[in-house]
Amino acid sequence: MKTEIDQIKKNIESFYIKTHQDVEKFRIEFIGKKKGIIPFLLKKLKYLSIENRKIYGQILNDLKVQVNKKIQSFDFKKKSSYYTHQCKKSFDTTIPGKYSEIGSLHPLSILKNRMIDIFSNIGYSYVDGFEIEDDWHNFTALNIPFDHPSRDMHDTFFLCENKNVLMRTHTSSVQIRYMKQNKPPLKILSIGKVYRNETISSRSNFMFHQAEGFYIDKKVSFSDLKKTIHYMIDSILGNIKIRFRPSYFPFTEPSAEIDIFYNNEWLEIMGCGMIDPEVLNNVHINSEMYSGFAFGIGLERLALIIYNIKDLRIYFDNDIRFLSQFRSELY
């Protein structure tokens, strides 16, 4: 049986198929119900020992699969060349196009693209991070040790029992990933989804988008940070009053939160600060030589203000009445 099978395998491989008739011949010769060699041998299996029956049964079935694949690949090639031929024949570039409705970008994508643009104007490169992170990049390297109370602010989704793998709770992990692999000067913007185990309401969700920016070089100062934040808010929200309020983040020192004056009240919109030298040391950047600032901002919140939206659940309802309002903004 073995030599017979080896021969069949060779015959399948070398069978030259050019036309539909060849396909039919090929099919009948190998898997045709009446004359096909494979069904014939499958019938003979019952004369073999149980062990051999299993072995050869498997081999013959694999051959059948191989035959079918060869038939399908011929069909596919044929069809695609048929369609290209048809297209060539009937495509007239002078006929005006039919009107079809153009979709629109999601407001959060519009804002994301706008931010990338705003920051690329002042020399920032855009990078993507990972949504699944490990403890070190999301917490420890950012000066948030295991027993640190600030971990409580990030109600974390863990992906395995030892709590090492998790959905990132903020985009600050991108700082660590990028600084580990690149030497200053660095001017980076990253935007993406972050996850926290929070109850869904008009003001919070278990998933939201953050933009993270950081700049590291010799002699970067807090006034550079202030200028950059003013430039960003000005570019996105226009002329609006803002204030820096002292705050605390484990990975920046000093840290600040930024409020904007909106609807007659101060509204907190983002966090920022000078990167803590300990964080630079963690990624082997010489903190005596380099300094830097970082900031993080939630896109959903910001878009609420830009578009005067009242409830952030609407972003992910997929309601066409909401989404189609952004059609004119082809950013």
163 Rama sector, left if φ>0, alpha if ψ -120 to 50, beta otherwise: left
Nearer to ligand DAH, 66 or 247 (CB): 247
Query: Residue 174 corresponds to which tokens in the numbers above?
Result: 């991108």
Pairing, β 165-167 against β 252-262:
unpaired
The whole-angstrom separation of Cα 138 and Cα 157 is 12
State yes or no: residue 166 binds ligand DAH (CB under 6 A): no
Measured CA to CA, the distance from residue 158 to residue 128 in angstroms comes to 21
300 close to 316: Cβ distance less than 8 angstroms: no
For ligand DAH, the binding residue among 60, 116, 272, 304 (CB under 6 A) is 272
Annotate each residue in 209-248 with x if it binds ligand DAH (CB under 6 A) or - if it does not, as one string: ---x------------------------------------
Q: Determine if 176 is a binding residue for ligand DAH (CB under 6 A).
A: no
Stretch that binds ligand DAH, among 22-30, 67-75, 292-300, 310-318 (CB under 6 A): 292-300
Length of the chain: 331
Cα distances (angstroms) measured from residue 125 to each of 120, 187, 213, 275: 6, 6, 10, 19
Closest CB to ligand DAH among 41 and 255? Answer: 255
Cis peptide bond upstream of 39, omega within 30: no
Site stretch for ligand DAH (CB under 6 A), options 51-59, 179-187, 259-267, 293-301: 293-301
Closer CB to ligand DAH, 67 or 171, in the complex: 171
- Exposure letters 213-225 (e unless 16+ CB within 10 A, then b): bbbbeeebeeebb
Contact range with ligand DAH by CB under 6 A, out of 120-128, 184-192, 258-266, 291-299: 291-299
Q: Does residue 250 bind ligand DAH (CB under 6 A)?
A: no
Total of chain residues touching ligand DAH, rule CB under 6 A: 11
Contact region with ligand DAH (CB under 6 A), list: 3-11, 79-87, 159-167, 289-297:
289-297
CB of 325 to ligand DAH, least distance (A): 29
Does residue 30 interact with ligand DAH by CB under 6 A? no
Q: Which of 60, 174, 260, 294 binds ligand DAH (CB under 6 A)?
A: 294
Shortest separation between residue 192's beta carbon and ligand DAH, angstroms: 12
Binding flag, residue 292, ligand DAH (CB under 6 A)? no
Distance of alpha carbon 201 from alpha carbon 313, whole angstroms? 7
Sheet of 252-262: strands edge to edge?
125-126, 186-195, 207-217, 291-298, 265-275, 252-262, 242-249
End-to-end CA distance of the chain, in Å? 67
CB of 173 to ligand DAH, least distance (A): 9
**Site residues (CB under 6 A) for ligand DAH?**
170, 172, 212, 249, 252, 271-273, 294-296
